[in-house]
A and B are shown apart, each in its own frame.
Chain A
Amino acid sequence: MNAAQIRFSTLWRREVNRFMKIKKQTLGAPLLETFLYITVFGAALGSRIKQLHGIDYVVFVIPGLIMMAWSINAFANNSSSILQQKFQGAIQDQLSSPASPAELLLAFSLGGFMRGLLVAGLTFVAASLLVDLPVDHILVLVPSLFLVGFFFSQLGVLIGVRAEQFDDVAFAQTFILQPLIFLGGVFYSAQLLPQPFQTLTHFNPIYYMINLVRYGFVGFTEVSIALSLLTLAAATAAIFVVNLRLFSQGYKLRA
């Protein structure tokens, strides 16, 4: 490995090492949470609803839970890691190294991406043991999940960089991200909602992400797959460019 590769792998390793050292909180808790959702919405509610659009209710719900696990963990990891390091001043060690803004941004992003991947992957394995979970369109599923993971990793970085106190991160996650995910159709089909909620749901970007992942697993969607995938790719690229600009300017990182 050359110096740049060593530098990048170390920056990335530090991020993974951080969440692995507190895995009860970073991996265990989200897994338990997802398991509880499957139990409550799948087993309890599923015994009353049975099927949605011809798909077992629990199977209908699981793709959204996997997407939710990846997105929330990617976001939470990066926003809290960056804020903690800013708070401790420890981020100065990385900032005063020869690492470029792009290297720093990608390494921070990949930490959350990896945590999301692990939680989502374990959720998928656990769900597959409990129910018969199909993977109908793997060529849509894999890029969709990766884009979702990378988008929320970037969002976590953005909020972490902008945040000045832990309240700022908690606000973004509790009052913006989680309501958008819950109201984006993880547990229901938007077609079942009365107006104006059905129309309003179409303004929620998470709705399109859930549909992409659900289509990848069970082949059901309420939106255009190609358009959603393109829009998600464009949004991910846009937030990456914004973050890269912030890192290059040293916004709230360098005095």
Chain B
Amino acid sequence: MPATVSAVLQEQALHIEELVKRYPTGVEALRGVSLEIAPGELFGLLGPNGAGKSTLIHCATGLAQPSAGAIRIFGHDAIVDYGPARQAVGLAPQELNLDWFLTVEETLDYHAGYFGMPRRERRERTRELLETFSLTEKRDERTRTLSGGMKRRLILARAMMHRPRLLILDEPTAGVDVELRLELWHYVQRINQEGTTILLTTHYLEEAEQLCDRIAFIAEGQIVGEGTSGELAARYGVANLEDAYLALVGRKELSRSHIEVAAS
């Protein structure tokens, strides 16, 4: 690989090239996706259910095996050189995939252990994140006894435990109350300002519009649009990101402006 190309790839937090994921059933969830996220960026990935968002995330984090294409995380090949690549990533998945046998504190401690963090550092980091996510009082409770909101907090804290350089948040605010959603927004913005690169998927367009530097639309396993929310709106010839999204999924009639005009 030429030195200049290598240097460019090193600079990217996430570099995805022609990624294809074909399941044994024949379903092609990703059909040649290419994407680049720069270090320090807060990047939004939007698309309807089944568009391929979670599959893309699973391929980047080692939970799914790509059929073709390349993924590099801070210059490390996520397939061949998976150790440093995964070390750099923190994943807060969409599902509440907590271990029922563990307490809140153990969940964080074990996760950090899986990433090779020494005991003293684990303890300090656990204390810090329990405090940040208002989980200190629940530290000795088994995860299965937590409410949905508490589980969501814990999953986010777990993803942050090993201080990842790239944080992947797969619909982090799905099903959470307004208070927690705003808390999470503040937290995400803060850690992004501190230098953590963030890939966010969400169905809340105002969330993406408010938080993300750049946004990509994914539909039927392909990236169909990429840019700032203003650029995307301009590309679809509409006023805002929501209308651009509705244009993408072919449901322009649901646009608020369309409904308002019809009502007047």
B101 adjacent to A18 (CB under 8 Å): yes
- 10 nearest A-B residue pairs (beta carbon): A10-B113, A3-B116, A89-B97, A97-B114, A90-B99, A255-B64, A98-B83, A96-B61, A98-B86, A6-B116
> A21, A22, A88, A94 — which one has the most chain B CB atoms within 10 A of its CB?
A88
B11 CB–A CB distance under 8 Å: no
Give A1-30 interface residues, CB cut-off 8 Å to B. 1-4, 6-7, 9-11, 13-14, 17-18, 21-22
For B95, the chain A residues whose CB sits under 8 A away are: 89
A14–B110 contact, CB under 8 A?
yes
Is B158 touching A93 in the complex (CB atoms < 8 A)?
Answer: yes
Q: Report if A51 contacts B (CB, 8 A).
A: no
Q: A7-B114, A98-B87 are in contact. Are A254 and B64 (CB under 8 A)?
A: yes
**Residue contact A92 to B115, C-beta cutoff 8 Å:** no
Within 8 A of B (CB), among A95-125: 95-100
**Among candidates B63, B86, B111, B116, residue contacting A4 with C-beta atoms closer than 8 Å:** B116
CB distance from B2 to the nearest CB of A (A): 28
A134: interface (CB < 8 Å): no
Question: A13-B113, A88-B97, A90-B98 known; 15 other A-B pairs, CB under 8 Å?
Answer: A1-B118, A6-B113, A6-B119, A17-B102, A18-B101, A85-B99, A89-B93, A89-B95, A90-B99, A90-B100, A92-B91, A96-B63, A96-B89, A96-B91, A98-B114
A78 CB to nearest B CB, Å: 15
Of the residues B84, B91, B119, contact of A98 by C-beta under 8 Å: B84
A93/B23 in contact, CB under 8 A: no
Residues from chain A with Cβ under 8 Å of B55 in the complex: 255
Q: What is the size category of the interface that chain A forms with chain B?
A: 20 to 34
Q: Which of B98, B110, B116 has the most CB of A within 10 A?
A: B116
CB distance from A92 to the nearest CB of B (A): 5
Which of these, B58, B64, B100, B114, contacts A93 with CB under 8 Å?
A: B114
Q: What sequence of 0s and 1s flags, for each residue 73-89 of chain B, a beta carbon within 8 Å of any chain A beta carbon?
A: 00000000011101101
Q: Which chain A residue has the least Cβ–Cβ distance from B21?
A: A255
Most buried by B among A17, A88, A89, A97: A97
Cα–Cα, bound, A84→B99 (Å)? 9
Min CB distance A22 to B, Å, is: 8
Q: Which of A21, A89, A99, A250 contacts B114 (CB 8 A)?
A: A99
Interface residues of B in 93-128 (CB under 8 A from A): 93, 95, 97-102, 106, 110-111, 113-119
Interface residues contributed by chain B, number (CB under 8 Å): 34
Q: Which of A4, A6, A9, A22 has the most CB of B within 10 A?
A: A6
Residues of B within 8 A of A6 (CB): 113, 116-119
B158 to chain A, nearest CB (A): 7
Interface pair B86/A17, CB less than 8 Å apart? no
Known contacts A88-B100, A92-B97, A98-B82; A11/B23 CB under 8 A: no
- Is the CB of B65 closer than 8 A to any CB of chain A? yes
Q: Is there contact, CB below 8 Å, between A93 and B106?
A: no
Q: A108 to nearest B CB, angstroms?
A: 13
B62 near A88: Cβ-Cβ < 8 Å:
no
Asked if B113 and A255 sit within 8 Å, CB to CB, the answer is: no
Asked if A98 and B115 sit within 8 Å, CB to CB, the answer is yes
**Closest A-chain residue to B96, C-beta based?**
A89
Closest to A96 in B: B61
Cβ–Cβ contact A11 & B93, under 8 A:
no
| 22 A-B pairs whose Cβ atoms sit less than 8 Å apart in the complex | A3-B117, A6-B117, A6-B119, A7-B113, A10-B113, A14-B102, A17-B101, A22-B101, A88-B97, A88-B98, A90-B99, A92-B91, A93-B97, A93-B110, A93-B114, A95-B63, A96-B61, A98-B83, A98-B84, A98-B116, A254-B58, A254-B64
Bound complex: CA A255 to CA B63 (Å): 6
- Check B113 against A9 for contact (C-beta < 8 Å): yes
Min CB gap A93→B, angstroms: 6
